[in-house]
Amino acid sequence: MADKATDIATLLGPTVASLGLELLGAEYLPAPSSAVLRLYIDRPGADPNDPSTGVTIEDCEAVSREVSAQLDVEDPISSQYTLEVSSPGVDRLLFTVAQFARFIGQRAKVGLKLPQDGRRRLQGMISAVVEGEGGRAGSVTFDVDGQPFTVSADNVDKARLMPDWVALGYAPAQDASGRDARPGKGEARPRGATRDGGNAGEASDQRTNKPAASKPTAAE
């Protein structure tokens, strides 16, 4: 919800919509050598729990081509940058009050621009949403440790859903000690060892200054 990212999303939204897609929001991550502009797109009406209804790599590539041309003309970023286009993922970022409303009842992790009641970060279930009227930003209420915590939408710096990975089948259930509850899966392995006995490696992702589409993956 940073100002520059919001301005860019407003600028590019109609272009993405012309392709039959929806621009959920944008992240602008400045850096000394090369900034990153990351766009999150979705297909209107897509089921967030059914990847087959969402965007494809072809959609990402099409959006990248169209918005790259527009960015070259409008030039909202004067420095070098990398353009990335991605699907939202199940742990999607939430950019607008309407997006919060869509996921009432789900948990989210939120960072605030300014501290509120001594907090800069919070985690809780989205319990209520008030749309903005007359120039007001609207608000989102979370259930935090059993207590309501209402945040003005314009004080949200970054918000992301916290999916139940176990319920979605992406993670095993855990026992009371936090270990894998499946039979024979709770034994500790030597640090740095992989399941096949090899050494754990590090993945790298070398960026360039050339705008390019990324695969539709879960947001980081």
Which pLDDT tens digit goes with each residue over 37-60? 999 999 999 998 888 899 999 999
What percentage of residues in the chain have a pLDDT greater than 70? 74
Please give the Cα distance from 100 to 129 (Å, whole number).
Answer: 7
Q: Specify the number of domains making up the chain.
A: 2
Q: Looking at residue 171, what is its pLDDT? A: 66
Residues 62 and 14 in one domain: yes
In the predicted structure, residue 151 carries a pLDDT above the cut 70: yes
Mean pLDDT of 106-126: 96
Range of the domain at 139: 97-161
What's the CATH number where 135 sits?
2.30.30.180
Can you give the pTM of this predicted structure?
0.74
Q: Looking at residue 203, what is its pLDDT? A: 25
In the predicted structure, residue 195 carries a pLDDT above the cut 70: no
Please give the Cα distance from 211 to 115 (Å, whole number).
Answer: 35
Domain boundary residue among 86, 108, 124?
Answer: 86
Q: Is the Cβ–Cβ distance between 157 and 111 less than 8 Å? A: yes
In the predicted structure, residue 155 carries a pLDDT above the cut 60: yes
What's the CATH number where 28 sits?
3.30.300.70
